[in-house]
Amino acid sequence: MAEVYHSACPLNCWDSCGFNVTVEDGKVTKVEGDPEHPITKGKICGRGRMLEQRANSDTRLLYPLKKINGKFERISWEAALDEIAATMKQNKEKYGSASILHSHDYANGGLPVQP
């Protein structure tokens, strides 16, 4: 049975468009604009409409990969996060806190807009 979830666009733009995402048997089958969203009122761009295809792509990465001896090999999430944290800590100690860029998108991160 298909279920519709209210969501927000994860892409990096200003609007954080409201979505109605249809999921059937654990698979996204449709992404539509949410007509009740106070700003975008059901309108979404072409990139947002393509998220259904992107989510279901056979080439979508689902697990962390690490390049070992010139080949990418699957590693656990725990190992990936531990290695990233260790590298960040090492860079911070060696080059200072400004060596770590806190990057964020320009959108509101899907937070509800207060009237």
Three-state SS sequence of 3-51 = EEEEEECCCCCCCCCEEEEEEECCEEEEEEECCCCCCCCCCCCHHHHCH
Residue range 27-38, pLDDT digits in tens: 999 999 999 988
Residue range 48-104, pLDDT digits in tens: 889 999 889 999 899 999 999 999 999 999 999 999 999 999 999 999 988 887 765
- Is residue 78 within 8 A of residue 66, CB to CB? The reply is no
Q: What is the pLDDT of residue 115?
A: 46
- Is residue 100 within 8 A of residue 92, CB to CB? The reply is yes
Q: What is the pLDDT of residue 72?
A: 96
Dihedrals phi, psi of 66, to nearest 5 degrees: -125, 135
* Rounded CA separation 45/59 (Å): 23
Radius of gyration (Cα) for the chain, nearest Å? 19
User: Would the pLDDT of 110 be above 70?
Assistant: no
User: Would the pLDDT of 8 be above 90?
Assistant: no
pLDDT exceeding 90 applies to what percent of the chain? 56
User: Would the pLDDT of 4 be above 80?
Assistant: yes
Q: What is the pLDDT of residue 103?
A: 64
Q: Which residues contact 60 (CB under 8 A, 6 or more apart)?
A: 54
